[in-house]
Chains A and B, each alone.
Chain A
Amino acid sequence: MSESSNRAPTEESKYQRASAQPPKAGGPGGKFLTFFLASEEYGLEILKVHEIIGMMPITRVPRTPYFIRGVINLRGKVIPVVDLRLKFAMDAKEQTEETCIIVVQAQGVEMGIIVDKVSEVLDIAAQEIDDPPYFGPDVQTDYLLGIGKSAERVRLLLDIDKVLSSQEVIDVRSVAAVTTEAGSQGSGGK
């Protein structure tokens, strides 16, 4: 994994454009890294993921939004770390053995996101991905690439660029609730 972190960002995004983002008909298919926040499962495009590291001491940076937990030393590089739970307006949770930091490349910048636990790397075909549902004008859904429904589970596929570029807290609860419900009805189990 460590080599991938050294890959030039431009190369990354070029590759990205060429293969991982076919026209958005029913959402892009491809490999996704899935992880958990509370009981919900999310997916990240694998090409955006540089590496997964265990929790390490985080230095708090004053006068930043509260979902930014601080900065870490990633082998000599200083990168900021965002707590995804706080970003998504969920309750904070004590860290466990399984808590870890996924180092992603969002808009050309390396950042870490803290998740409860990493699940698996999964192939999701384009036809298994639905467009994000529309909940009316008040609920934002543009940080979602789509909703993946494969192996009888529902996963919210995140557009990590959008998630990390906004300075506000994103309220995912409404979306998550509805989709989980819809998913469980559709596949007959949770």
Chain B
Amino acid sequence: MNEMIEGFLLETQRELSTSEERLVVLTSGPPTEELISQFSTSLQSIKRNAEEAQLRKIGRAADAGQLVLDRLKLDPANVSQENLTLLGECVQALRRHLDALAETGQEALDLPAGASSDSTPADSRMTLHDIAALLVQIDRENLSGCTKLGQALHEIAGSHSNSEIASLLAEAADKLLTLEKSPTESLEAVLLEVAVTIDEVNRQDETEEDLGESGEPDSAPDVPELVLPADADFELLGEFVTESREFIAEAESALLALEVDPENMEAVNTVFRAFHTVKGTSGFLGLKALTELAHHAESLLSRVRNREIQFGGGYADLALRSIDTLKGLVEQVDQATRGKSMVMPGGYQDLLRLLKKAEHEPIADAIVETPGPEMRVGDILVATHKVDREKVDEVAAQKSPAEPLGVALVRSKAASLTDVAKALRAQQRIGGSDKSTESTVRVRTERLDRLIDMVGELVIAQSMVAQDSTVNDGSHHDLSKKISHAGKIVRELQDLSMSMRMVPFRATFQKTARLVRDLSRKSGKLVEFEVKGEDTEIDRNMVDLITDPLIHMVRNSVDHGIEPPDERERLGKPRSGLIRVTAFHSGGNVVVELSDDGRGLDRDKIIQTALETGLIESDKGLADVDVYNLIFAPGFSTAPEITDVSGRGVGLDVVRRNVEALRGRIEISSAPGAGCKFSLRLPLTLAITDGMQVKVGDEHYIVPTVNIQVSFRPSASALFSVAGRGELVMLRGDLMAMFRLHRLFEVKGAVEDPTKGLLVVVGDGNRRCALLVDELLGQQQVVAKSLGRGLGKIQGISGGAILGDGRVGLILDTMEIVSLARQVGSGVDKTELETAGA
């Protein structure tokens, strides 16, 4: 939990500072669409992160800010002072929350957030935050919302405990109610006034909340309150604290012993006793929260004791978490006896939920006979010559899927019970020892990179030696044998060094699983989450970058894809939806697939929305894939209403941008009613670029292969010039600008005549253009490096790479080259291009 908050702070601080900068820019001049959408994206990501960390207030503030921006987006020319003030307030509120979070840690904000998070979304009543957000949307033309908001405000005012605030709110509500009947000139002023009042009240409420949880009614029905009973005997409480601490300490060391030896029943008993005693005493003292937790933890342990479940994996984690939380609770009770207020430790509800139905959670699966890399019982039995391989296979084929192999073997009398039991134990030892030997050393990435560089150099140096004429003239047989031996070692070394940067997807997928659980709970849908290939490895740097897009897509699937259970039943599908994430290697790439069995993409709805927003002019000639790709356009959303999960249309364009920044590709396939599948195809590592080497005069450049659409040699009739300065080329009926790379880069001796050279088409959509080069030299994978700080940023060049001959090749940044060409003026700008095309 703490780590989560820390991560959140780190990320959000950055986003917020850029947001603040953007606000300043926005205040100082007319806004550009790009600025607004960037701003909106920042807020979106703050909101999303906040939800993940269960920081509801921050989420709301960001949401409100986004609403203002939405409004600005519709009408960028109309940046009124009010909008800016509201936006400013939102950003300020965010800053305030963040500062509080940084200073006081999770409790200050997290507690009220956690306590209310379950009840609020389902609550039909509007909160002040909602009203503040909606207030922004009211404008002169449409005053009908005022009444609704006024009524809502009255409602809140009526139920507010603080009479002073209540009257303030009532006053504001009256103002709103009168507004619609008699639209005054000073509409904006009134709205602003109301907004300020609400903000003021919010602030007071929050400070109250932050002081402690006393003021906040704990509305979640299944969560016991953490309060001392009115008739608490402080002396008894003190004794309880001391006693519990002892038991907990014992239980902790017993749990650790269990880590090593899961069969240690004595240790299980110790833990059981600890929970049992705490449960009994806390029940007697009326500490419901402790009783509840201890009770569920106790039942978990009792099942271990009865050998219903085996202690290990997820169960062990659960037991450890329970002890930790229980310890936290006991400390809180200790605090309370000294007159301080009690604060519920973070994650309590989660833990309780897990404990209640441990079997239904994925953690349980982790230790139910796992196939795969671990040794199976059958294998062990065969290895110890107790049973024949054939016999095991036979039994395995006959047994019912739910029945463990060991049981089946005993039943079919293929193996004696003792043998199977021994094998089971051995299996656990193997599993256990695997974990302990996997030790790690932390190495600075800088050093690692340097090592990888040096190995790369070694490979080049080795190949230079291997290709030397002295070695290859056939007269030095021994030498060439030695050199090829060295070559093998070098290649192995290279593989090894590359693999050092690789990490499995496991952690990322776990995060996603958690998200699916939370989201499905929130949206009232039943979702199963299935993960395959979590051991697939990918470059360390990329794992972090892939998490965001993945989370976006999962949200999307849960929110838009999976239908509510009743609807699914009507459609003849199982009540719970299935989301599956699969990762695998394919042709030098890593592919991550996310599929669901929900509604699938609605072609007609997408076309309709695209037509409405002017994204396309007609749907003629659009293949399904083209239509599906429209959903990646910025601001695109077919969701009829905006939820706090998704629907504002800031999601998928970010996904595509992130994936493309990783030099990856994203593909969609979908069948209406049967679900939809996103495939992300990513390079194995960021450091390696798949490049096409091109020749221009004496220079060699590398163009990233992903940027190249096609290359061709034009015929003279396909070339046109515009106003004597710009050049155009026609490819399959499309006109595009042509730039001569040798002119841009002032290379001498290059091919001047396009019909003798080659045109490489780069860019996409309207920004497509053709670059003239002499010829293509071939494709190769190169390790991208910076050109060194001494040179600074060179426009059009994204970096350098060491080529096979040891020279440095420059990697072109095609987008920059296009803009460079336009600046230099040798090109045609877009308007000219379009007129020429028409």
Q: Do A and B come from one complex?
A: yes
- Do A109 and B797 touch across chains, with their CB atoms under 8 A apart? no
A106 is contacted by which of B790, B800, B802 (Cβ under 8 Å)? B790
Given A59-B808, A63-B796, answer yes or no on A78-B745 (Cβ-Cβ < 8 Å): no
Which among A57, A59, A111 has the highest number of chain B CB atoms within 10 Å? A59
Q: Quick check: is A72 within 8 A (CB to CB) of the other chain?
A: yes
For A78, list chain B residues within 8 Å (CB): 785-788, 799-800, 802, 808
- Do A71 and B806 touch across chains, with their CB atoms under 8 A apart? no
For B788, list chain A residues within 8 Å (CB): 71, 77-80, 109-111
For A68, list chain B residues within 8 Å (CB): 791
Cα distance, A166 to B90, chains bound together (Å): 45
- Do B454 and A61 touch across chains, with their CB atoms under 8 A apart? no
Given A71-B808, A109-B789, answer yes or no on A62-B453 (Cβ-Cβ < 8 Å): no
Cα distance, A164 to B809, chains bound together (Å): 24
B453 is contacted by which of A63, A76, A106, A110 (Cβ under 8 Å)? A76
Cα distance, A75 to B746, chains bound together (Å): 28
Chain B interface residue count, Cβ-Cβ cutoff 8 angstroms: 29
Chain A interface residue count, Cβ-Cβ cutoff 8 angstroms: 24
Which among A64, A77, A108 has the highest number of chain B CB atoms within 10 Å? A77
Which among A62, A71, A111 has the highest number of chain B CB atoms within 10 Å? A62
- Do A73 and B794 touch across chains, with their CB atoms under 8 A apart? no
Q: Who on chain B is nearest to A111 by CB?
A: B790
Q: Quick check: is A60 within 8 A (CB to CB) of the other chain?
A: yes
- Do A62 and B796 touch across chains, with their CB atoms under 8 A apart? yes
Which residues of chain B in 785-829 are interfacial with respect to chain A, using CB atoms and an 8 Å cutoff? 785-791, 794-797, 799-800, 802, 806-810
- Do B790 and A59 touch across chains, with their CB atoms under 8 A apart? no
Cα distance, A162 to B679, chains bound together (Å): 52
Which residues of chain A in 94-149 are interfacial with respect to chain B, using CB atoms and an 8 Å cutoff? 106, 108-111
For B795, list chain A residues within 8 Å (CB): 63
- Do A76 and B457 touch across chains, with their CB atoms under 8 A apart? yes
* Per-position 1/0 for B693-705, Cβ under 8 A of A: 0000001000000
For A111, list chain B residues within 8 Å (CB): 788, 790
Q: How far is the CB of B552 from chain A (nearest CB, A)?
A: 35
For B661, list chain A residues within 8 Å (CB): none
B802 is contacted by which of A70, A76, A80, A164 (Cβ under 8 Å)? A76
Cα distance, A79 to B787, chains bound together (Å): 6
Q: How far is the CB of B166 from chain A (nearest CB, A)?
A: 62
Cα distance, A60 to B787, chains bound together (Å): 12
Q: Who on chain A is nearest to B824 by CB?
A: A63
Q: Who on chain A is nearest to B461 by CB?
A: A75
Q: Who on chain A is nearest to B449 by CB?
A: A76
Given A57-B807, A76-B457, A78-B808, answer yes or no on A64-B796 (Cβ-Cβ < 8 Å): no
For B450, list chain A residues within 8 Å (CB): 76
Cα distance, A142 to B490, chains bound together (Å): 49
Which among A71, A72, A109 has the highest number of chain B CB atoms within 10 Å? A71
A62 is contacted by which of B456, B744, B789, B790 (Cβ under 8 Å)? B744
For B366, list chain A residues within 8 Å (CB): none
Cα distance, A110 to B789, chains bound together (Å): 8
* Per-position 1/0 for A43-77, Cβ under 8 A of B: 00000000000000101111110001011110111
* Per-position 1/0 for B749-781, Cβ under 8 A of A: 000000000000000000000000000000000
- Do A64 and B794 touch across chains, with their CB atoms under 8 A apart? yes
For A108, list chain B residues within 8 Å (CB): 789
For B453, list chain A residues within 8 Å (CB): 75-77
- Do B791 and A62 touch across chains, with their CB atoms under 8 A apart? no
- Do A61 and B457 touch across chains, with their CB atoms under 8 A apart? no
Q: How far is the CB of A81 from chain B (nearest CB, A)?
A: 9
Q: How far is the CB of B776 from chain A (nearest CB, A)?
A: 19
Q: Who on chain B is nearest to A71 by CB?
A: B808
For A62, list chain B residues within 8 Å (CB): 744-747, 794, 796-797, 810
- Do A71 and B800 touch across chains, with their CB atoms under 8 A apart? yes
Cα distance, A124 to B559, chains bound together (Å): 76
A76 is contacted by which of B454, B747, B794 (Cβ under 8 Å)? B454
For B796, list chain A residues within 8 Å (CB): 62-63
Cα distance, A61 to B796, chains bound together (Å): 10
- Do B454 and A75 touch across chains, with their CB atoms under 8 A apart? yes
For B808, list chain A residues within 8 Å (CB): 59, 70-73, 78
- Do B747 and A64 touch across chains, with their CB atoms under 8 A apart? no
B456 is contacted by which of A57, A76, A110, A164 (Cβ under 8 Å)? A76
Cα distance, A64 to B800, chains bound together (Å): 15
- Do A61 and B787 touch across chains, with their CB atoms under 8 A apart? yes
Cα distance, A72 to B805, chains bound together (Å): 12
Q: Who on chain A is nearest to B746 by CB?
A: A62
For A164, list chain B residues within 8 Å (CB): 790
B790 is contacted by which of A57, A60, A73, A79 (Cβ under 8 Å)? A79
- Do B791 and A63 touch across chains, with their CB atoms under 8 A apart? no
For B789, list chain A residues within 8 Å (CB): 108-109
Which residues of chain B in 413-468 are interfacial with respect to chain A, using CB atoms and an 8 Å cutoff? 450, 453-454, 456-457
Q: Who on chain A is nearest to B697 by CB?
A: A60
Cα distance, A147 to B450, chains bound together (Å): 39
- Do B790 and A109 touch across chains, with their CB atoms under 8 A apart? yes
- Do A73 and B746 touch across chains, with their CB atoms under 8 A apart? no
For B744, list chain A residues within 8 Å (CB): 62
Which among A57, A61, A64 has the highest number of chain B CB atoms within 10 Å? A61
- Do A73 and B791 touch across chains, with their CB atoms under 8 A apart? no
For A73, list chain B residues within 8 Å (CB): 802, 806-808
Which among A60, A72, A76 has the highest number of chain B CB atoms within 10 Å? A76
Which residues of chain A in 138-168 are interfacial with respect to chain B, using CB atoms and an 8 Å cutoff? 164
For B799, list chain A residues within 8 Å (CB): 78
For B746, list chain A residues within 8 Å (CB): 62-63
Q: How far is the CB of B257 from chain A (nearest CB, A)?
A: 45
For A106, list chain B residues within 8 Å (CB): 790
- Do A71 and B457 touch across chains, with their CB atoms under 8 A apart? no
Q: How far is the CB of A109 from chain B (nearest CB, A)?
A: 4
For B457, list chain A residues within 8 Å (CB): 75-76
* Per-position 1/0 for B559-597, Cβ under 8 A of A: 000000000000000000000000000000000000000
Q: How far is the CB of B244 from chain A (nearest CB, A)?
A: 52
Q: How far is the CB of A12 from chain B (nearest CB, A)?
A: 15
Q: How far is the CB of A128 from chain B (nearest CB, A)?
A: 32
- Do B809 and A80 touch across chains, with their CB atoms under 8 A apart? no
Cα distance, A127 to B157, chains bound together (Å): 86
Q: Who on chain A is nearest to B455 by CB?
A: A76
Q: Who on chain A is nearest to B820 by CB?
A: A63
Q: Who on chain B is nearest to A167 by CB?
A: B792
Q: How far is the CB of B259 from chain A (nearest CB, A)?
A: 41
Cα distance, A76 to B452, chains bound together (Å): 9
Q: How far is the CB of A83 from chain B (nearest CB, A)?
A: 14
Given A75-B457, A76-B453, answer yes or no on A59-B791 (Cβ-Cβ < 8 Å): no
Cα distance, A164 to B788, chains bound together (Å): 14
Q: Who on chain B is nearest to A57 by CB?
A: B807
For B791, list chain A residues within 8 Å (CB): 61, 64, 68, 71, 80
- Do B787 and A80 touch across chains, with their CB atoms under 8 A apart? yes
Q: How far is the CB of B318 from chain A (nearest CB, A)?
A: 46
Cα distance, A79 to B808, chains bound together (Å): 10
- Do B786 and A60 touch across chains, with their CB atoms under 8 A apart? no
B797 is contacted by which of A57, A61, A72, A79 (Cβ under 8 Å)? A61
Given A78-B785, A78-B808, answer yes or no on A110-B454 (Cβ-Cβ < 8 Å): no
Cα distance, A164 to B790, chains bound together (Å): 9
Cα distance, A75 to B450, chains bound together (Å): 10
Q: Who on chain A is nearest to B453 by CB?
A: A76
Q: Which 4 A-B pairs have the closest CB atoms?
A: A62-B745, A76-B453, A59-B808, A76-B457
Cross-chain pairs A/B with CB under 8 angstroms, 27 sampled: A57-B807, A59-B800, A59-B810, A60-B699, A61-B810, A62-B745, A62-B747, A62-B794, A62-B796, A62-B810, A63-B795, A63-B796, A64-B794, A71-B808, A73-B802, A73-B806, A73-B807, A76-B450, A76-B454, A78-B787, A78-B808, A80-B788, A80-B790, A108-B789, A109-B789, A110-B788, A110-B790
Excluding A63-B796, A75-B453, 11 further A-B contacts by CB distance (< 8 Å) are A60-B699, A62-B797, A63-B746, A63-B794, A71-B787, A73-B806, A78-B785, A78-B808, A106-B790, A110-B788, A111-B790
